[in-house]
Each structure stands twice: as structure tokens, then as C-alpha cells.
Amino acid sequence: MKLILCWLGIWIFCVGLFAQNTKDNSSYLFDEFQDCLIVYKDGRQFTAPVNYDLIKKHYVFKDPEQQEKEFSDPELIAVLRIGNRSFLIGKQEAVEVIQAQPKFNVIYTGDTRRAPKKISYGGTTQTASVDNYSGLTGTGLSGGIQDAQR
């Protein structure tokens, strides 16, 4: 019986280890920078490693010194070609052209969490409702709304 419980405990421990999320929570659309052909509206073409930052909502590229930079005039870019995929520069979003006729695009956006709200005794929370408060003052109850997050 003890042997069975021991093996059961080892099995639960091992399953727990393999169930952990090992994915890196990157803020980029691609896992790593992709070689990209950048085509400008005036016909100029350049190549550079490019990725899309989902949090800051803009494309970034690596210069020859491997420093990450963003485009100074993204509205002058006609299309970004990454492999056989085409991307447009949208307003605050990454737009992939799936099909030209009829027009079919995919928009990539990132999910962000709210900043933690302050609670009593210097703590913070992202799940509890702490937008209002009440208390006893003098002989009656008073209520109100907390100040905006600082």
C-alpha cells in the first residue's frame, strides 16, 4: 500500500512539472525577428529583420548593429513582406493581407492586463473590486469613490 502511495505521489509530482507553462511571454508578434522586404510607396525597397511589438503597437527592426529601432515615417511604407506573407501598416495594429480580391485581412492585437489596484495596508490586487469604499465618521456612515490610480 505504501509503495502504491509513493508511486502515486511521484506520478502527481511529475505531471505537475510537465504541466508548467514554459512559453516565453514575449510582447512581439513573432518568436524572433523575421527577415523582411520593406516596400515604400515611392518604390524604394529595403531588407531588415522586423517584428511587431503588440504592447507598443508599432513595427520594430534591427539595424546592422543589432539595435532595435522603430520606423520614423511608417505611413510611407506600402507593404512589409515576410516570407510569403504581406503586412500593412495599420493605425495602431498589425494587418496581414490574406487575400486581395475580395479583400480579406487579419488584424493582430495584444491583450494587456490592467495595472494592479491599491488596497489597504499597502497591498495590490487585480481581481478584487476596490473602486469604492465606506467608513464611519462621527455618528453616521459615509461613502465615496477612491481617487484615480496614481
DSSP string of 79-125?
EEEETTEEEEE-SSSEEEEEETTTTEEEEE----PPPPEE-GGG-EE
- Quick check: 95 and 105 in contact, CB under 8 A? yes
Tens-level pLDDT at each residue, the chain (150 residues): 777 766 766 767 666 656 555 555 678 888 889 899 999 999 899 899 999 888 888 888 888 888 888 888 888 888 999 989 899 887 778 888 988 888 898 888 877 777 788 777 778 887 776 665 555 566 655 555 555 554
3-state class (DSSP) for residue 31:
coil
- Quick check: 58 and 69 in contact, CB under 8 A? no
SS3 content of the chain, % helix, strand, coil (to 5): 15, 40, 45
Q: Which residues contact 107 (CB under 8 A, 6 or more apart)?
A: 90, 93, 94, 95, 96
- pTM equals 0.59
pLDDT at position 23 is 54
Q: Which residues contact 58 (CB under 8 A, 6 or more apart)?
A: 52, 70, 71, 74
pLDDT at position 143 is 54
pLDDT at position 122 is 78
pLDDT at position 150 is 46
